[in-house]
Amino acid sequence: MQFTRLGPSGLAVSRLCLGCMSYGDTSKGWHGDWLLDEEAARPFFREALEAGINFFDTANIYSGGTSEEITGKLLKEMARRDEIVVATKAFGVWRNAPNCGGLSRKALFQAIDDSLTRLGMDHVDLFQIHRWDDRTPIAETMEALHDIVKAGKARYIGASSMFAWQFARAQETARANGWTLFISMQNQLNLLYREEEREMLPLCGAEGVGVIPWSPLARGRLTRPWGTSTVRSETDAVGKALYKAEDEADRAVVDAVEAVAAARGAPMATIGLAWHFTKPQVTAPIIGATRPQHIADAVRALDITLSPEETASLEAPYRPKFPTGMGMPMPAMDKVSVI
């Protein structure tokens, strides 16, 4: 396994991060027949740790919090706390009522306490805001995050999926007040969605912020020939919204990945991940693992250096897209509705 520092910090992380959204209880409100329960998830945590992965990412809303419960329990069984890096996120609605989500001071302090309880930990290494909150002044959010760090509940803070101007505003607000700065940006980046290359990646490069992309394989679209499907592709509503089945430019990209993979004698997933390491701002793609080969295919990407010609062939078919992946429901403000 290769390791690097996350952004401007001294925090050492593996070049791959295991995303734990795939593990949880579907009865808790997270829909998808592709989810794995605790026992089914256990081999993937073991394999990740044995491969040298020390970086694990989850969120308070994944499967109604059961992702955090599984992540915390299995890591406690299998790993030493001082050797691993645990990241979680807050913003998403945990109950459709005022203050039960978003980035207000009240919501963030509740979210971190609830996450620590589910994880069975006294701190997380990286506490991230899952989305931008238009309802809360950014100064309130940044001061609350700073106080969470100073209280010892989080070691570092990060952000996820917003416009570059919003991220810059948050950083400048923290800098002007002497508060804790974000060290990471978790954004959507893959060969089918490269809009982050326009502003966010250059901003992160200039700021020294580490990039930890989510959906680095476009929710599996880059791991198999065009037109084939899986249980997840058929049931993942978010994936269907992010990546359109009829997009001909996307089809050309997938075909290019398939061609490079065939020439290399490597899985398509390996090539799709290897492309991320052509971007100097990328620290660690967040991989999902629900099948036996997923982690091995991802680790193999670390040993592949794509040539300029291969990279050009993968990137050439891309066509600009409208920004996606930045929205998320906000809690009710005027009334409570039972869902």
pLDDT tens for each residue of the chain, 339 residues long: 999 999 999 999 999 999 999 999 988 766 667 899 999 999 999 999 999 999 999 999 999 999 999 999 999 999 999 999 999 999 999 998 999 999 999 999 999 999 999 999 999 999 999 999 999 999 999 999 999 999 999 999 999 999 999 999 999 999 999 999 999 999 999 999 999 999 999 999 999 999 999 999 998 999 999 877 666 655 566 656 677 767 899 999 999 999 999 999 999 999 999 999 999 999 999 999 999 999 999 999 999 999 999 999 999 999 999 888 887 877 776 544 433
Known catalytic residue: 62?
A: yes
The domain locations on the chain are 12-186
> Which is catalytic among the residues 23, 62, 193, 318?
62
| Partners of 186 in the β-ladder | 160
Query: With respect to CATH, is domain 12-186 assigned 2.60.120.620?
Result: no
Cβ atoms of 110 and 93 within 8 Å: the answer is: no
Residue 274's alpha-carbon distances to 7, 108, 153, 267, in angstroms, are 20, 35, 34, 11
Please state, in angstroms and rounded to a whole number, the distance separating the CA atoms of residues 194 and 196. Answer: 5
Q: Where are the alpha helices (DSSP H) in the chain?
A: 38-50, 66-78, 105-119, 138-150, 164-177, 200-207, 231-235, 237-242, 248-264, 268-274, 294-300, 308-315
Helix axes 164-177 and 200-207, enclosed angle (nearest 10): 20
Please state, in angstroms and rounded to a whole number, the distance separating the CA atoms of residues 192 and 207. Answer: 25
Please state, in angstroms and rounded to a whole number, the distance separating the CA atoms of residues 253 and 243. Answer: 12
Please state, in angstroms and rounded to a whole number, the distance separating the CA atoms of residues 139 and 169. Answer: 10
- In the sheet with 124-129, reading across from the earlier edge strand, the strands are 210-211, 182-186, 154-160, 124-129, 85-90, 55-57, 17-19, 286-287
- Within 10 angstroms of residue 3's Cβ, the number of other Cβ atoms is 12
pLDDT for the residue 226: 85
Please give the angle made by the CA atoms of 207, 160 and 334, to the nearest 5 degrees: 130
Cβ atoms of 130 and 91 within 8 Å: the answer is: yes
Query: Which phi and psi (to 5°) does residue 59 adopt?
Result: -160, 155
Helices (H), strands (E): how many in the chain?
12, 10
Q: Which of 109, 189, 157, 188 is nearest to 8 (CA)?
A: 157
Residue 197's alpha-carbon distances to 74, 128, 187, 280, in angstroms, are 36, 21, 11, 11
The structure's pTM equals 0.93
pLDDT for the residue 337: 40
